Amino acid sequence: MILLENEYVKASFEPRGAELKSLFNKKTNLEHLWSGDPAFWGKSSPVLFPIVGALKDNAYFYKNKRYEMSRHGFAREKVFKTAQISEQEVLFTLESDEETLLNYPFQFKLCLRYRLEKTSLSCSYEVFNPATETLLFSVGGHPAFAVPLQKEETYDDYFLGFNKDQCLVYHKIEQNLIDEETKELPLNDGKLALQHSLFYDDALVFKSLKSDCISIGNKNNGHGLQFSFEGFPFFGIWSAKNADFVCLEPWCGIADSIHHHQQLEEKEGIVSLGAGEHWKRCWKVDVF
């Protein structure tokens, strides 16, 4: 386990999947990350790469060849190389190899860089294309935040606050794929009351979210967090059924639609990275 710490917070990470496992506020003695209880969902913050969500029939076609890949890709199960830059920064690296090339015929270098600054933790995704051909990929975050934070509280004590939206337009997921019909979810002064039932039909998927900051707040006290993200065209909000967490998921990429023809080059949200090019996106969480 890798540990980062300053006077305000401490965070721990697992090299498998470069996964954030704990985000603890030392001033309030509150753990903000989901425990990863396997009775509900055994992950806490997996990286989604080289796809986000599911492929239709768990497969895609590239240059007339069929490849198979499971939901959210393979990076979350791979052991990353680790370089601890300082007490407050760590870099995880995953590169293509003979195994990844079997079902993903692209050379790549994926880096996750975590950094503490006062009460915040930032996570940067950096992708490098070392090849002479274009690299096609998607990448996304899946951090699960604890709700409630304290035993005497309930899930219904909490809300999500959106900094630029007054009504949410979302897509439902049908058998792991995106339904093209949309539904509306009105907000009350930019706030959405959390209820377990919101996620009984899987995640809420957004293609046109205006907000670039979402807060998790408690209507009875001042504890919570702010989750900031820029440059992610898609977003998911999810929890396992009746579990005490909520995932805030910024995505550059999205699951296939129910009518998709499975051609990778025409996949919605796919990122094209030219030979020798570098790509970067970042999210940040500030706890209080």
195-219 burial, b at 16+ Cβ within 10 Å, e below that, comes to ebebbeebbbbbbebebbebbbbbe
pLDDT in tens, 45-85: 999 999 999 999 999 999 999 999 999 999 999 999 999 99
Q: Can you tell me the distance from the alpha carbon of 223 to that of 35, in angstroms, rounded to the nearest whole number?
A: 18
> pLDDT digits over 101-136, tens only?
999 999 999 999 999 999 999 999 999 999 999 999
Average predicted confidence (pLDDT) for the chain: 97
Report the candidate in 220, 212, 233, 202 with the shortest Cα–Cα distance to residue 161: 212
Burial class (CB in 10 A: 0-12, 13-18, 19+), 221: exposed
> 178: number of CA atoms within 13 Å, CB side?
24
**Per-residue pLDDT at 158:** 98
pLDDT one-digit tens code per residue, 224-258: 999 999 999 999 999 999 999 999 999 999 999 99
* Interacting residues of 158 by C-beta distance below 8 A, sequence separation 6+: 147, 148, 194, 216, 217, 218, 219, 224, 246
- Choice between 181 and 275, residue whose per-residue pLDDT is larger: 275
Strand 245-252 relative to strand 144-146: parallel, antiparallel, unpaired? antiparallel
Percent over 70 (pLDDT), the chain:
100
Domains plus CATH for the chain? 2-287 (2.70.98.10)
Kindly tell me the burial class for residue 61, based on how many C-beta atoms sit within 10 Å of its own C-beta (0-12, 13-18, 19 or more). middle
Residue 86 pLDDT: 95
How deeply is 152 buried, as exposed, middle or buried, from its count of CB atoms within 10 A (0-12, 13-18, 19+)?
Answer: exposed
Ramachandran angles phi, psi of 77, nearest 5°: -105, 0
* Pick from 67, 46, 53, 263: nearest CA to 178: 53
pTM exceeds 0.75 for this model: yes
Q: What is the DSSP letter of 232?
A: -
In this prediction, residues 84-96 reach a mean pLDDT of: 97
Element (H, E) at 183: strand 177-186
pLDDT-based confidence at 180, cuts 50/70/90? confident
User: Which pLDDT value is given to residue 94?
Assistant: 98
What is the model's pLDDT at position 125? 98
85 contact partners, CB below 8 Å, separation of at least 6: 91
- Cβ atoms of 268 and 254 within 8 Å: the answer is yes
For residue 23, name the pLDDT band (cuts at 50, 70, 90): very high
Residue 282 has pLDDT above 90, yes or no: yes
Q: Is the pLDDT of residue 279 over 90?
A: yes
> CA 7 → CA 4, 11, 34, distances in Å?
11, 12, 22
Q: Among residues 104, 127, 107, 51, which one has the least CA distance to residue 280? A: 127
DSSP reduced 3-state for 99: helix
